[in-house]
Structure 1
Amino acid sequence: MARDPLPLFLERGVYRRRRMMDALRLLTVLGVVLWLIPALWPNDPSAGAQTLAMSRALFYIFGVWAALIAISAVLAFRLRRPEGSDTGAEDVH
Structure 2
Amino acid sequence: PEKVAEDIVNLVKNRLPKAYNQKVSNIQVLTPMQRGVVGAANLNMALQNALNPSQIALNRGGYSFRQGDRVMQLRNNYDKDVFNGDLGYVE
Structure 2 length normalisation: TM-score? 0.26
Structure with the larger strand share: 2
Higher RCO structure (Cα 8 Å, ≥6 apart)? 1
